[in-house]
Chains A and B, each alone.
Chain A
């Protein structure tokens, strides 16, 4: 009696407008229904509706692409938590990081964020190695390989911009040294080849105060403006661009014929 009633409540819920309006396909029971369930869900639709058996073999994929995405999600969540405490100013940045370690409840988010960042660099490179070793960069997947290299560069840039935020000696000098490379860029860096050619009469167009390094730092050396620029790049702009490329990357796996098979 009680069981019957329970079942009817479940049935009632499953047939209610609330349930049907959210999950249109109902409980998927056949292959066709399962496929519709995946295709009809915004969070699942980037993913293939069906997987070949070898696609879930850990020995073939190492799961490095999936792990990279998982760590990206972890970094997004922990990063948002950190933003509630961290102030990107010369006055507070360093002590806010110390406070995260010593005062803030669950300040371990900062450690998770840092170690997660290291781990993501590792998994992205291993993913790249796996894709290379299995020949998955070959046509028809050559475009997705190119998208992947962009994503790898964005991962490195996220690491680089995050490096400055603790605002300690290591951070400041690492960014000083790192952005000195921007100075040596051809044409857009003040000390790079070709920069001395871009002149109007006596006026040098590409100088230490008008080159790409200046745009990156917001000045001639790492300072207040740099901290704010790197903070915005790290928290907003680069993750935003990375998410767009990730969407393309996942989508193209399907469109290029699904995950590559074992050789």
Chain B
């Protein structure tokens, strides 16, 4: 009886066709791992995306505040503070929108009419009605928001665009509205 090659039952089948080289096996394995890692990365990216809601229930960033005649010269208008965190100020030649966020650590100052200044209750920073800082720890003036006229003649404040004094941006066209 000729000596036959012993083939274990578990590996019955065309062993020739199924044979896979070491290099090929490793490359298949690498593709598998890469696919797994890509899937894992996608999963965690999707998890991270969940923290950024599609709809925000906060007040809009861009809103109409009325006509120029609604604002008295030399007054700080407090009507938009509570909902939009904006003070609208009209001086002799322009109207501008000031952010109510203190430039020190982000509290909300109060407008003191008698003393003609914004005073922050947290650490005592003081600002003039122009937004210019003059006392306390605030390192720079209040920020101004973009302000312009809509086609219906109403004034629009757009909080997406900020104008900072220290960058020389207050002189730009939409940092204040000439009236």
User: Inside 8 A of B52's CB, which chain A residues have their CB?
Assistant: 210, 214-215
A225 to B54, CA, bound (A): 13
**Do B56 and A209 have beta carbons less than 8 Å apart?**
yes
Please, could you name 23 A-B residue pairs with CB atoms under 8 Å apart, sorted by A?
A173-B107, A173-B122, A176-B106, A176-B107, A177-B106, A177-B122, A180-B105, A209-B56, A210-B52, A215-B48, A215-B51, A215-B52, A218-B51, A219-B56, A219-B57, A219-B58, A220-B56, A220-B58, A221-B58, A221-B85, A223-B58, A225-B53, A225-B57
- Digit string of B147-168 for contact with A (CB within 8 Å is 1, else 0)? 0000000000000100000000
**Which B residues have a C-beta under 8 Å from some C-beta of A?**
48, 51-53, 56-58, 85, 105-107, 122, 160
**Which A residues have a C-beta under 8 Å from some C-beta of B?**
173, 176-177, 180, 207, 209-210, 214-215, 218-221, 223-225
**Do B51 and A180 have beta carbons less than 8 Å apart?**
no
Q: How far is the CB of A91 from chain B (nearest CB, A)?
A: 15
User: Inside 8 A of B53's CB, which chain A residues have their CB?
Assistant: 218, 225
A193 to B107, CA, bound (A): 23
With A177-B105, A219-B58 given, name 9 new contacts (CB 8 A): A173-B122, A176-B107, A177-B107, A180-B105, A209-B56, A219-B57, A220-B56, A221-B58, A225-B53
A123 to B52, CA, bound (A): 36
User: Inside 8 A of B122's CB, which chain A residues have their CB?
Assistant: 173, 177
A223 to B58, CA, bound (A): 9
**Do B106 and A180 have beta carbons less than 8 Å apart?**
yes
Q: How far is the CB of A80 from chain B (nearest CB, A)?
A: 26
Q: How far is the CB of A68 from chain B (nearest CB, A)?
A: 30
Nearest to B56 among chain A residues (CB) is A219
